[in-house]
Every structure is written in structure tokens, then in C-alpha cells.
Amino acid sequence: MNAEAIRDRLVARMADEFSFDWIDGRLAVDTPVGYPDGASVVVYVWEREPGKLEVTDYGEGYQMATDRRGMRSANLRSAATAIAADEDLVYARGRFSTVVADGEVEDAIWRMARASSRLADAPTFQRAAASSDDDFAGEVESSFRARNASIEREPTLEGLSGHKHRPALYVPAAQLVVEPISAKTAWIRAAAVYAEFGDLSQANGYNLLAVLDDRESGSSEQTRRLLTQVGDVVEWTRRDAWLKTVLPSRPK
């Protein structure tokens, strides 16, 4: 396993800070994706056989979720299974894992970091309204359609890594990817959007826009700082101004 090559590919792809360390023969990758308590997600990589690398979170996301109140173990296991399916990972005995070829490891690291972060925040998701993100996406979509924009829901777009993403909204005429982020799920959604935008930004000249729902408690500065590294960030209450700049000019 060439740790330097993995580091170089990750830095080139995301242009962000990573730290690396060797722990018991495994490469520990400290990622920019965060847990609810502010700690960063660490993903572990080791060579299972020549040319095949195992990537895992060693159950840190599960452990963090179980340390928080408000979620039954059966519901947590169901959430973990669903997240594993979303991120194309294996979930077993409290941890996520996957085995990939050397050239696919950076994408696997990002999927692993997203999955572990999402699971750690599963108790928050359970308490929040399940449809909050969908409801907000519907509001954003309606505003685009009110201005005669042709917009698609959850298209399939391929990133530089080859991973196929399903962003919430897409305006083909402007190659504009739009990810609405509701206040109730802001940080965990932002972590997923960060990885998605980083992958798409180098794929096809996409314009990337995160829309923060700032009606309840204002936009989180932490969320904003994370997302401005990979795309444009706007606030929902100021949509009259930014909609004029992101939509293609309509014929007179």
C-alpha cells in the first residue's frame, strides 16, 4: 500500500487538509468530515491482500451513536443498514467496511467517512422530522419553477471518482447542482454535500450551490465554512437576490 500516493490523490481531489498516521500496520486517515461532537472522522485502511485494501471506521460512528440518548438499538441497527446500502458499504457487528482496489480507495474513504458521521448523528435524525430535507427541497424547487427554470429531482451525475451521485436538484441549462440543507439536519447533510461537491467539481464543470435554510436559527458558520471550500453557499431568506444570478437568462 502506497500511503503517499493515497494522500496525494485525496489532496488533489478535495484540496483540503488530511493527516495520516500508521497505527498497528494500518493507515489512519483523519478526514475533514466531522462527528456531532466536533471530532473528525478517522478512516482506517490496510492491505488485505496485494492490490486489495480494506477500508473501515472500526465502529466509531456506532459507538458514538450508542453513547447518546434517544435511540433504541434496533432502530440504530436499521439506520446503519440503510446507510451502508446508501454508501455501498458492508455493515456488520457495529462497524462499516469495504474492500476496494488501490485506485478506488479515495472514494471509499469519503463514503466511509460520510457513513460513520451519519450513523453517529442517527439519534438526531430520529428526533427530527423525517421529511424536513424533502420538504425544504420542495420549497427550493418551487422557487426555481416559478421563474420558469427547467429543474430535475435527483438526477444521476458521475463525479471524478466514478461514483454516481444523486443531488436533490439540478438545472441542466446552467449545469447547476443545487443541494438544499434544512436547519434540522444541517451539519450531517453538509458533510455529505461537501464530499459530493468535491467529487463533482472536477468532473464536468458543474456549478455547485448549497442553499441553507436560515429561517429558524440562522446559518451555521461552521456549516458555511465547510461548504464554501467546494461550492457556493447562499441563504434561503435572500433567494430573490441569488436566484437572479444563478439562473440562465430567459429570452425576451
**Domain containing 47 — which CATH number?**
3.30.1460
pTM higher than the cut 0.85 = no
Q: Rounded to whole angstroms, how far apart are CA atoms 188 and 191? A: 5
On whether both 145 and 98 belong to a single domain, the answer is no
Rg (CA), the chain: 19
| Measured distance CA(188)–CA(170) in Å, rounded | 21
DSSP bridge pairs for 212: 181, 235
Q: In the prediction, which pLDDT does 67 show? A: 76
Residue 128 has a pLDDT of 43
Task: Name the stretches of the chain with pLDDT < 70.
Answer: 1-17, 68-72, 124-133, 185, 187-188, 217-219, 249-252
197 in Cβ contact with 168 (< 8 Å): no
Residue 230, classified by CB atoms within 10 Å of its CB into exposed (0-12), middle (13-18) or buried (19+), is: buried
**Grid cell in block for residue 162:** 466514478
Q: Are residues 241 and 188 in the same domain?
A: yes
Domain extent at residue 168: 132-246
Looking at residue 116, its pLDDT comes to: 94
In the chain the first and final C-alpha atoms are separated, in Å, by 59
pLDDT at 17: 66
Alpha-carbon distance of 191 to 174, in angstroms, equals: 24
Say which amino acid occupies 172: P
Among 90, 109, 126, which residue terminates a domain? 126
Residue with cell 474513504: 109
